[in-house]
Amino acid sequence: MTTLFLMPLFCLSACSGAKPEPTPTELAERLESQKRQTQQNRRNDDFLAESKQEMVNIKSSDLKTGDLLLIRLPSDVSYQFPFQHVLWVAIDPTDSSLKTLSIFPTQTLAFSPIPDPVMEGKTRILHLRLKDRSLAEKSSQMIVGLWKTKEQAGQPIEYDKDSDLREHNKLTSLEVAQVALEMGSEGKFKIADRIDELEIDPHFEVIKEWRDLKSLPEMRKREAIQNQIEYWKDEFAYRSVSRQLTDLELENLILKGITLITADQGSPLTYSELVAALENFRKSDLALFENSKTRSQSVMHRQFRVDPKTLRKKAKQQAAPKDPKAGMKYPALEF
């Protein structure tokens, strides 16, 4: 007697190796997972693209007189722009060696050795070279001559807190380059008034760049924070409640807040994602501040929030009738 075993219908597809069609819910979850993976890959690609710009070191053999080194330090208070200082490469007449002629707050204009970014804690260095080599060499001779004359007269060039180009007894690091090139060109050549604009100045070419990749994520966060602070001031009339609160302290407060929000991302955020995270942080922190029971948990709004007087003044200005000719780049044509 033969016994027949009947296979259940639900086993036919599984036993034959065919995969069942996904349910709408499973399909939606799968698509969402693919979307998250794509976003993470894009963030990683952005980060890797920046990491390829790293170089081993700044070598004296790579430099020429009249070159510029734009630098950024982790201790700089302002993170609004990618660079804070300019170093002018020149020959030190005291020992005929190639060094940088530079000036920093609380210091006078002086020669320094070529910076070692690793040893000196630099986070970014951009090496620029003036395309007009004769102008670069002549300008270098002129600024070194000015430095030497001032030193011999016992009147070293001090740091210019007011950024006044009309006199050369005081200079900023950017003004060192501006004055050198104006003297070398007899006033015909002028460069940008902001350090970050030198990077895109067509008169210069980028030779090399060094970045500390470990500090890059925080640098990007701080740049986004600084831009958002200015946006909140303009758009919502945010102001510091305490006069003792410095820009750096405010940045540190906000950095602490968004670090908690973005801690589980697992990869660097793009700039637009950082801006979105900052706006989410602002709204959530504002909700904590407006609730008397949770006000003590607010990170930012206890010290930096909307100023009613500034807000009323802004509303009054927006409501006032505007002159149609005001703010025009060119004068209106009269017929």
pLDDT at 123: 72
- CA 148/CA 152 separation, integer angstroms: 6
The two tokens of residue 175 are 């003004």
Q: What span, in angstroms and rounded, lies between the C-alpha atoms of 290 and 122?
A: 41
Residues 6+ apart with CB under 8 A from 199: 70, 82, 83, 126, 128, 206
Least confident of 8-12, 167-171, 257-261: 8-12
- Burial level of 267, CB count in 10 A (0-12/13-18/19+)? middle
Alpha carbons 229 and 233: distance in angstroms, whole number: 6
**What pLDDT does residue 44 have?**
46
- Count the alpha carbons within 13 Å of 269 in the hemisphere toward its beta carbon: 22
- pLDDT tens per residue, range 174-191: 999 999 999 999 999 988
Domain boundaries, the chain: 60-211, 216-317
Q: What is the pLDDT of residues 132-148, one digit of tens each?
A: 999 999 999 999 999 99
Q: Among 26-30, 286-290, 312-316, where is mean pLDDT lowest?
A: 26-30
pTM over 0.85: no
The residue whose two tokens read 């970050």 is 196
Residues 179 and 146: beta-carbon distance below 8 Å: yes
**Range of weakest confidence among 25-39, 150-164, 188-202, 248-262:** 25-39
Separation of CA 169 from chain center: 30
Q: Which residue bears the tokens 């060499």?
A: 137
Please tell me the CATH code under which domain 60-211 is placed.
Answer: 3.90.1720
Query: Does the pLDDT value for residue 57 go beyond 70?
Result: no
Q: What percent of the chain has pLDDT over 70?
A: 69
Question: Is pLDDT above 90 for 241?
Answer: no
